[in-house]
Homo-oligomer: A and B are copies of this chain.
Amino acid sequence: MLTAAPEALKPRKAPLQARSEVTVAAILEATIQVLLAAGSSERLTTTRVAERAGVSVGTVYQYFPHKRALLYAVLEQHLQVVTDAVDAACARARGKTFAEISDELTLSYLAAKTSRIEASQALYLVARELDTGDLLGSVHQRMRDALVPLFASASDAEFDDLTGLSFTFRAMLAGTVRAVLERGADRDRLELLQNELPVICRAYLTARAQPKAA
C-alpha cells in the first residue's frame, strides 16, 4: 500500500475468501473501464460499475464505503506505478552529476506518466471528482523526501536550500507534465515535452547550483 489512506477513504473491509478477492479485482477493473468510456458519453455511476463488474450495487458498497473510496483506490493503485519509477530513478542517479540526476528524474517521471497515457488522463479526471489532498500530499511529501538526499549527493555541485529546491523541483516537474497531459496531448506536444522538460529542469538546477569545493 502506497500510504495509509485517510480513515474516511479506506476500503470497508478486506476480502477474506478467494471468491471476494475476485470480486474486488473485478470492481476495480470495471471502474477503470467505465472511466475510460466515460470520457465519451456515460457518466461514472456506482450502478454502472456494478453492472460492468457483474455484481449488484450492494456488493460494491460491501467493500467500499462510498464512491469516493472506490475512485481513491483506483488512483492509489496507479500512483504506485509513478512512485516506483521515481524511486528507481533515485537509486540509479545517486552520486552522479546534477545534470545526470535531473535527466534521470525527468525522463523516468515522464515515461511512467506517458506509458499508461490513457490511464493517466482518466486519473486526472478521477483526481477532479475527489478531494485528493491527502493522497497527493503524501505522494509529494515522499517524492520531496527522496529528492533532498539525491540532490545532496550530486558529485559536481552543492545547493543552498535543499528543502525549498526539492519542493520547487517537484512542483515544476509535476505541474508542467500535468499542464501538457491533462487535456489530450497529440504526438507533437508529447515530443515537444520530451525535448523541453529535461532542459527546463536542468536549467533550473544550473541556476541554483554552486560549484563544489573539491
Q: Residues on A close to B: CB < 8 A?
A: 128-129, 133, 136-137, 164, 167-168, 170-172, 174-180, 183, 189, 192-193, 196, 199-200, 202-204, 206-208
The 4 residue pairs across chains A and B that have the minimum distance between CB atoms:
A175-B179, A175-B175, A203-B203, A128-B128
Q: Are B176 and A171 in contact (CB-based, < 8 A)? A: yes
Q: Are A172 and B200 in contact (CB-based, < 8 A)? A: yes
Q: Are B168 and A174 in contact (CB-based, < 8 A)? A: no
Chain B residues whose C-beta falls within 8 Å of the C-beta of A177 in the assembled complex: 175
Q: List 7 A-B contacts (CB under 8 A).
A: A164-B196, A170-B179, A175-B175, A175-B177, A200-B207, A203-B203, A203-B206
Chain B residues whose C-beta falls within 8 Å of the C-beta of A192 in the assembled complex: 164, 167-168
Q: A128-B128, A175-B177 are in contact. Are A204 and B208 (CB under 8 A)?
A: no
Shortest distance in angstroms between A130's beta carbon and chain B's nearest beta carbon? 9
Chain B residues whose C-beta falls within 8 Å of the C-beta of A175 in the assembled complex: 172, 174-180
Residue in B closest to A137 when the chains form the complex, CB atoms:
B183
Q: A167-B192, A203-B204, A208-B199 are in contact. Are A176 and B172 (CB under 8 A)?
A: yes
Kindly state the separation between the CA atoms of A202 and B189 in the bound complex, as whole angstroms. 22
Q: Which of B136, B167, B179, B206 contacts A171 (CB 8 A)?
A: B179
Q: Which of B171, B178, B193 contacts A180 (CB 8 A)?
A: B171
Residue in B closest to A167 when the chains form the complex, CB atoms:
B192
Kindly state the separation between the CA atoms of A199 and B206 in the bound complex, as whole angstroms. 10
Chain B residues whose C-beta falls within 8 Å of the C-beta of A179 in the assembled complex: 170-172, 174-175, 178
Q: Are B137 and A200 in contact (CB-based, < 8 A)? A: no
Residue in B closest to A207 when the chains form the complex, CB atoms:
B203
